Structure 1
């Protein structure tokens, strides 16, 4: 699942991942993931700054819940200065925008193979 409020990033990453054989869902609101009752994604690509939602808060809440604690979360941001706070929120990894799609695919493959 991809949570980002930038439609360009949602479209591009979703298309690339689907081309790579992944089943992808997306949302422009990170809080959507918190509202899910079941059928959580195998991995979450989560933007830090979204309108109305701080991805770090979403990440913290997901990592506190028993049913989502082990879901890998890769946080993304245009600011490298936020990498430390992303990790402090419980993110498993971090990518700076704009990111290389090959690097993203490598990270996704790594976390899904664990």
Structure 2
């Protein structure tokens, strides 16, 4: 498939989920970067900012909710849509409180994920 030129950053500490998400998104033409530790988000290079971030809520190290709050407070990153992922109960409300733009409960359908990514990429364009 032809590249969309859109960059998706996946932040999840489960390598199986990260690999599966990356493969699905790359099949759709997205340029995918993955990281497994939330602390790495602190040093996002300004010239290579993602167009959307898929962020696991419960990460080892820095919690995904804290990462979302930090990203939404910084002028360089506040515009990037954050789609928070979690299997945790009450996670949708937690994601909203943390500043995430959307939420997806694990496990989710591939089409649901792709639709949400496309929606946020379109609305942030």
- Give the structure-1-normalised TM-score: 0.96
Stretches of structure 2 that go unaligned for 5 or more consecutive residues are 1-8
Corresponding residue to 1:87 among 77, 80, 96: 96
Corresponding residue to 1:69 among 41, 64, 78: 78
- Does 1:37 pair with 2:12? no
Number of the residue aligned with 2:5: none
Corresponding residue to 2:15 among 7, 13, 21: 7
Number of the residue aligned with 2:25: 17
Secondary structure of the structure 1 residue equivalent to 2:32: coil
Runs of 4+ in 1 over 2 A off after TM superposition: none
Larger CA deviation: 27-36 vs 49-58: 27-36
Secondary structure of the structure 1 residue equivalent to 2:16: helix
Secondary structure of the structure 2 residue equivalent to 1:102: helix
Are the aligned partners of 1:4 and 1:29 in contact in 2 as well (CA < 8 Å)?
yes
Q: How does 1:96-107 map to 2 (within 5 A)?
A: 96-107=105-116
How far, CA to CA, are the matches of 1:79 and 1:36 in structure 2? 27
- Give the structure-2-normalised TM-score: 0.88
Secondary structure of the structure 2 residue equivalent to 1:34: helix
Q: What is the RMSD computed on CA atoms of the aligned residues?
A: 0.8
Number of residues of Structure 1 aligned to a counterpart in Structure 2: 114
